[in-house]
Chains A and B, each alone.
Chain A
Amino acid sequence: MNKGVAITGMGIISAIGNNVEENYNSLISGNKGISRISKIDTVHKNAIMVGEIAFTDKELEEQLGIPPDNNYSRTALLGLVAAKEAIKNANILDITAHKTGLISATSVGGMDRTEKYYYDYLESDAHRKYIEGHHAGDSTQKIAEELGIKESLVTTISTACSSAANAIMYGARLIKSGKLDRVVVGGADCLSKFTINGFKTLMILSDTYNTPFDENRKGLNLGEAAAFLVLESDALVAKENKKVLAYVKGYGNANDAYHQTASSENGDGATLAMEKALKVANLKPEAIDYINAHGTATGNNDLSEGRAIIRVFKDAVPDFSSTKPYTGHTLAAAGGIEAVYSILALQNNVVFPNLNFTTPMKEFAIRPQVQIKEKELNTVLSNSLGFGGNCSTVIFSK
């Protein structure tokens, strides 16, 4: 029987907390992390709201004990905070003791530094140390180095907003195939002018709090975050008598093959991803107790995803909610932070509310869970859908 791949640790930093416990407390008390932007000087500051992490780069560097002459991007700093918590949570004392890999995900990478010093690089050598840190693999290499992962499988996935879900999926595959005994999987993205302006040109940024699955939704709030899980082989779990937080039970990735940025009207890609994940998990749709939806609060996503959910679950759609009103849309990290939230839901038998919802969408009858709800949860499905038609589903179980 397929019991899945064991999750033995998790770590997170987001706009609603600097670790797993703080995130959980915010989730159950309905504390949103959405505010006006304070750390990036953008002309759009009064027209958008974001999910920003309170710490400055300098504060993060100090906490992490990284020397001031470093060339970390904010993505790398956030990633390292979450990855370190995950390793600690998994009670890993010697990372070199077993074949341990790292699969991270990012879309922004070192863009925060590049956009700051773009022309400055040509004029002076003061900040040229950051040039090497631009590419998406840089934050992953730095996290691996700091965790002590050497001479091992380390890679980075970038499939826009589904990236971290795909990192979890690939990590699970590597454990199942026996390529690795243990793997740290997740993603990190910081806020940047590049993404703020990009989404602004697409006209999908809300000027107020995002309202997923609401008829009057105005778009998304961007956020920054990082989250990582530790996955371990059954053999290692048994040998070290490890505490298992939950299992990665199924996963599926599919492409909408419809448009570079928009989702198809009927959510073909999302439907396929959910169906594949159920098949890998060997579960029928009715086994899913809660869906942590992608639910970005854009007109297009919520309609397409909602229709896909109805196609898969027919007239028995389980409780579902989007947690993006808490954190904003954290792009490549979203699948990672929502994996942590799915595991927290399982551990605490609680469905987190879809905040800010007032008016049902006219296209369909399904409604998100708007109040916190306690019930026995055994299986949670998490969706992540992105640009390039990329659709991913991961199923977590007790």
Chain B
Amino acid sequence: MKKVFINGCGVISAQKTFDNKAFLEEVITYNDRVMPVVNPVYKDFISGGAARRMALGVKMGVVASNIAMQDAQLDSVDAIITGTGMGCLIDSEKFLSKLIDNNEEFLTPTSFIQSTHNTVGGQIALGIQCKGYNFTYVHSGASFESALLDAQLQLSSGEEENILVGGVDENAPHTVKIHQLIGFVKEENTDTSSLLESNTSGAIFGEGAGFFALSTTQQESSYAQVIAIETLNTISKKNLEKRIISFLEESGSNVSEIDAVILGNNGDVDFDGYYNLLSEGVFADTQQVYYKHLCGEYNTASSFGFWLGAKVLKTQSIPDVVKLNQKQTKTLKTILLYNQYRGENHSFTLLKQC
């Protein structure tokens, strides 16, 4: 079994994370129900024409993957594996609303073509002329982890050497509006600096892209090692702790080895209970970290958490803004990530210092 390293990151989010030299030294707070992304200058990476044609999700995905490859000093990869919970919503809405408004007349193919779930993966391949394996996982809150697990299997078995893996989701107006109507988005504007004290239902919706160059070769730019990933479609609160312990055991680790746990709390009183169970239980004495007050909730928000874990291990530091409690951590060697969305699609990811 070969080791799997994170050699490059490219993250576009509601913070200025696309700059790999920075690490949350400056943080933007929002008082809203939806968070937009801080856009890089897309034209620095892709042609102005392409930047105008592409919807935000495609643009973010292509540029984030570009940044990750630069970070890992790669010109090409063997495979591209993408996760997206909702797919290309902007073009889907554009095509569908025109279809309905004009009673199926006067439609043009552009937005249909770009509405397909695998548009981002296809466009990245087209851009770097990668003819290798190209998969897109579309499984709600476990989309990014599904992609990650696939990549890890192929790298550790030695089938491939370098894989670009990422998560991307974009907001679109109609989708946000109808998710407000069913309470998935918070009813009131909420201050992100006190997100977990909101005591209200729903989440602040976000969007973003997080792409990573994973490799079987360690190099100077390496951030961390990916040890194991597990996704579970359901889990009862009763079994959560037990499953985490067995996941750690199967991965050759244990609870006492975990130097920090990165949790996906999004301030939704109806579902944060899963995280609280761990932060008040098995990881009560562990350094706890959260991040959705920085990036918002979206199906692939956990790619932001993955970036955070990689960055913490590389820099051996945890920014105060993501600390959920204050514990003394001498060295940071092992990090566990746990995420779920609305009580479904739970994922555990284990990272280690290189």
**Taking beta carbons and an 8 Å cutoff, which residues of A are in contact with B?**
42-44, 102, 106-107, 109, 111, 114-115, 118-119, 121-122, 125, 128, 131-132, 135-138, 140-141, 144-145, 149-160, 166, 170, 173-174, 177, 179, 193-194, 197-198, 200-202, 253-261, 268-269, 272, 386-390
Contact = CB atoms under 8 A, between A and B. Distances in A.
B99 A260 contact: no
B153 A141 contact: no
A351 B279 CA distance: 60
A151 B235 contact: yes
Given A128-B181, A388-B122, A137 B99 contact: no
A59 to B, nearest CB: 27
Contact of B134 (A128, A151, A155, A388): A388
Interface in B297-354: 299, 344-345
Nearest to B80: A255
Contact of A193 (B85, B104, B123): B104
B138 A158 contact: yes
A137 B144 CA distance: 13
Contact of B239 (A151, A254, A258, A269): A151
A390 B136 CA distance: 10
Interface residues on B, range: 35 or more
A218 B243 CA distance: 54
B24 to A, nearest CB: 30
A57 to B, nearest CB: 20
B95 interface: yes
B126 interface: yes
A260 B150 contact: no
Contact of B181 (A131, A257, A260): A131
11 contacts: A118-B174, A121-B181, A151-B239, A154-B142, A179-B153, A194-B95, A198-B95, A253-B133, A255-B125, A257-B126, A386-B118
Nearest to A269: B131
Determine chain A's interface SS by DSSP, over half rule: mixed
B121 A254 contact: no
B112 A198 contact: yes
B182 interface: yes
Given A158-B138, A173-B153, A261-B113, A152 B104 contact: no
A44, A115, A140, A158: residue with the most chain B Cβ atoms closer than 10 Å: A158
A131 B130 CA distance: 36
B146 A155 contact: yes
Contacts of B134: 159, 253-255, 388-390
A198 B116 CA distance: 10
Contacts of A173: 150, 153-154
B104 A137 contact: no
B185 to A, nearest CB: 11
Given A107-B117, A151-B234, A160-B116, A260 B100 contact: no
Nearest to B84: A158
A106 to B, nearest CB: 8
Nearest to B120: A388
Nearest to A158: B117
Determine chain B's interface SS by DSSP, over half rule: mixed
Contact of A158 (B87, B109, B133): B87
Interface in B265-287: none
Contacts of A102: 233
A389 B122 CA distance: 6
A44 B182 contact: no
Contacts of A106: 138
Q: Which 8 pairs, one residue from A and one from B, show the smallest C-beta to C-beta distance? A: A388-B122, A198-B112, A154-B233, A158-B117, A201-B109, A136-B138, A137-B139, A388-B118
Given A150-B234, A253-B134, A200 B107 contact: yes
A169 to B, nearest CB: 9
A137 B145 CA distance: 14
A329 to B, nearest CB: 14
B158 to A, nearest CB: 12
B74 interface: no
Given A194-B96, A260-B119, A389-B125, A253 B135 contact: yes
B62 interface: no
A389 B126 contact: yes
A136 B146 CA distance: 14
A149 B233 CA distance: 8
A152 B131 contact: no
B130 to A, nearest CB: 6
Contact of B140 (A135, A253, A272, A386): A135
B104 A202 contact: no
B104 A390 contact: no
A170 B122 contact: no
Contacts of A268: 131
A118 B100 contact: yes
B143 interface: yes
Contact of A141 (B133, B181, B344): B344
A149 B179 CA distance: 28
B103, B132, B135, B157: residue with the most chain A Cβ atoms closer than 10 Å: B135
B162 interface: no
B137 interface: yes
A314 B104 CA distance: 45
B319 to A, nearest CB: 32
